[in-house]
């Protein structure tokens, strides 16, 4: 039996009392939690969109702290222009010191700066360019070092932005009818677009507010998600009615209304037997990705950046609701529409008829949507897996469907987004209660 210590505890010498051990355990847990929170905060900070006056860092500069100056006219966040991958060089990456790699460190950074391409950038476009995030870096080829962004420039959440993010909010599904063998209403299509956009986080921003903490008013900073829906010129607007994505070929403002777009979607679904919930879910998910979240019917490439594997080149880049690509695909759709039997070898037809027709797939409402259904049905052997895509959708295999639309590769472009859109639409459309699924 241990002796009684001076405090009256019946504790053996050299043994830590239980309450002291508990305090030590609690301290360790608190430290672990702080470290975990700090790591999470760092990760979220890296996803903030960069704006004008963001802070830069180059450790080879005698004054390593620099400033991002946005020179291009882009939409604003917090009344400052959004930074995109076009911001390169000393006019955008402003450092006032000398480069330590230069002879005797005598040359100004601005005079020797030679940068490459931005890395770890955002996934959405601002004025046709990918946005920069706080995690983005750009290599300086002269100094053989990465220039980093240490602060996005954001201070608080703009009052005009109602930031809401993933997961998709629970839609009101109690009285929602199955979508098999029936049309969408404009109101239902509006709900689908809103929920899909709100469910896709593009970055995080900081909101500052005053809250009561233990009876005392304190300033509190919270990181909140910034979604596609939160982009001020997108919201729930379709195609030409939004202005975050602007391209040379597009639908008219009149044809971009929910009434007209929903009507064309319904006609396309009926014509090409996309008639069950699961077929509609996969068709809309693919079209939503291909049309840049229902904002563009034209890929928007220039002659300089059109991929070399685009058959026919610049004139036959992606167009329409499902982004038809390649001259041989366009000529097959032309023949389908006009009941003809033309081919790409007829040079006069090619230049005088097929090239102008291709543009109509982006600008003509009927062609933009009907071409998507035609490609989906695959009667003319145009998709990459060479099956009617309804059969692929019936398997409910998003990879297989995506391969049919984007190419039979292991990882089609945007696969993660396409998978998410399918999952979100199943929730939005209450797929669990689909009458076809129960059979």
Rounded CA-CA distance 403/393 in Å is 12
pLDDT value at position 24? 73
What six digits make up the tokens of 431?
């797929």
Rounded CA-CA distance 129/363 in Å is 22
Mean pLDDT for 83-112 is: 91
Tell me if the pTM is above 0.75.
no
Mean pLDDT lowest for which of 5-9, 174-178, 283-287?
5-9
- Between 123 and 287, the more confident residue is 287
438 has pLDDT over 70: no
Categorize the per-residue pLDDT at 44 as very low, low, confident or very high, splitting at 50, 70 and 90: low
Report all structural domains of the chain as residue ranges with CATH numbers, in order of start: 55-151 (no CATH), 186-199+231-438 (1.10.530.10)
Q: What percent of the chain has pLDDT over 90?
A: 66
pLDDT value at position 183? 97
Mean pLDDT lowest for which of 2-16, 209-223, 312-326?
2-16
Q: What is the pLDDT of residues 328-345, one digit of tens each?
A: 999 999 999 999 999 999
3-state helix/strand/coil string of the chain: CCCCCCCCCCCCCCCCCHHHHHHHHHHHHHHHHHHHHHHHHHHHHCCCECECCCEEECCCECCCEEEECCCCCCCEECCEEECECCCCCCCCEECCCEECCCHHHCCEHHHHCCECCCECCCCCEECCEEECECCCEEEECCCCEEEEEEECCCCCCCCCCCCCCCCCCCCCCCCCCCCCCCCCCHHHHHHHHHHHHHCCEEEEEEEEEEEEECCEEEEEEEEEEEECCCCCCCCCCCHHHCCCCCCCCCCCCHHHCHHHHHHHHHHHHHHCCCCCHHHHHHHHHHHHHHCCCCCCCECCCCCCCCCCCCCCHHHHCCECCCCECCHHHHHHHHHHHHCCCCCCCCHHHHHHHHHHHHHHHHHCHHHHHHHHHHHHHCCCCCCCCCCCHHHHHHCCCHHHHHHHHHCCCCCCCCHHHHHHHHHHHHHHCCHHHCHHHHC
**H helix runs in 343-397, sequence order:** 347-349, 355-363, 365-377, 389-394
Rounded CA-CA distance 334/301 in Å is 22
418 has pLDDT over 90: yes
**Where would I find the beta strands (DSSP E) of 119-188?**
125-126, 129-130, 137-140, 145-151
pLDDT value at position 36? 64
150 has pLDDT over 60: yes
88 has pLDDT over 80: yes
Mean pLDDT for 68-89 is: 87
The dihedral over CA atoms of 347, 352, 356, 357, expressed in degrees to the nearest 10, equals -70
- Between 81 and 237, the more confident residue is 237
Rounded CA-CA distance 360/354 in Å is 10
Mean pLDDT for 167-182 is: 69
Query: φ and ψ at 180, to 5 degrees?
Result: -65, 135
Task: Mark 225-264 as b/e (b = at least 16 C-beta within 10 Å).
Answer: bbbbbbbeebbbbbbbbbebbebebbbeeebbbbebbbbb
pLDDT value at position 42? 57
Strand, coil or helix: 218: strand
Query: φ and ψ at 321, to 5 degrees?
Result: -65, -30
pLDDT value at position 125? 77
Q: What is the pLDDT of residues 189-214, one digit of tens each?
A: 999 999 999 999 988 888 888 888 88
Do residues 385 and 392 lie in contact, with contact meaning Cβ atoms separated by under 8 Å? yes
pLDDT value at position 222? 85
pLDDT value at position 202? 86
Do residues 353 and 394 lie in contact, with contact meaning Cβ atoms separated by under 8 Å? no
17 has pLDDT over 90: no
- Between 417 and 24, the more confident residue is 417
Rounded CA-CA distance 182/165 in Å is 30
pLDDT value at position 175? 57
Mean pLDDT for 161-174 is: 46
């Amino acid at each position: 039996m241990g002796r009684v210590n001076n405090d009256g505890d019946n504790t053996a010498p050299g043994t830590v009392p239980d309450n002291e051990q508990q305090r030590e355990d609690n301290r360790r847990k608190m430290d672990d939690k702080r470290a975990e929170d700090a790591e999470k905060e760092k990760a979220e900070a890296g996803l903030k969109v960069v704006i004008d006056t963001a802070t830069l860092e180059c450790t080879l500069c005698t004054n390593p702290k620099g400033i991002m100056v946005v020179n291009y006219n882009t939409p604003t966040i917090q009344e400052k222009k959004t930074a995109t991958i076009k911001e390169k060089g000393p006019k955008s990456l402003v450092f006032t010191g000398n480069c330590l790699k230069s002879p005797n460190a005598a040359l100004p950074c601005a005079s020797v700066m030679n940068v490459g391409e931005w890395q770890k950038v955002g996934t959405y476009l601002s004025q046709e360019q990918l946005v920069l995030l706080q995690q983005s870096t750009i290599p300086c080829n002269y100094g053989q070092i990465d220039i980093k962004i240490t602060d996005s420039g954001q201070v608080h959440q703009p009052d005009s932005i109602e930031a809401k993010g993933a997961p998709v909010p629970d839609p009101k599904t109690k009285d929602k009818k199955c979508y098999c063998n029936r049309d969408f209403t404009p109101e239902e299509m509006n709900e689908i677009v809103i929920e899909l956009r709100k469910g896709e986080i593009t970055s995080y921003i900081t909101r500052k507010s005053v809250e009561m903490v233990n009876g005392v008013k304190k300033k509190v900073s919270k990181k909140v998600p910034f979604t596609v829906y939160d982009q001020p010129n997108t919201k729930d607007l379709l195609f030409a009615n939004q202005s975050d994505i602007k391209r040379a070929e597009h639908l008219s403002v009149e044809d971009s209304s929910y009434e007209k777009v929903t009507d064309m979607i319904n006609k396309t679904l009926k014509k090409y037997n996309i008639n069950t919930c699961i077929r509609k879910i996969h068709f809309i998910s693919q079209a939503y990705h291909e049309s840049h979240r229902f904002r563009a019917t034209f890929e928007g490439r220039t002659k300089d950046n059109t991929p070399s594997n685009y058959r026919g080149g610049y004139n036959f880049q992606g167009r329409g609701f499902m982004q038809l690509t390649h001259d041989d695909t366009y000529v097959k759709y032309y023949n389908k529409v006009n009941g003809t039997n033309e081919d790409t070898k007829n040079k006069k037809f090619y230049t005088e008829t097929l090239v102008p027709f291709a543009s109509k797939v982006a600008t003509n409402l009927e062609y933009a949507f009907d071409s998507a259904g035609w490609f989906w049905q695959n009667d003319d052997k145009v998709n990459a897996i060479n099956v009617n895509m309804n059969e692929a959708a019936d398997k409910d295999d998003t990879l297989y469907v995506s391969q049919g639309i984007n190419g039979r590769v292991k990882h089609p472009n945007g696969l993660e987004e396409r998978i998410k859109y399918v999952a979100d639409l199943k929730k939005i459309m209450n797929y669990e209660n689909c009458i076809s699924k129960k059979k």
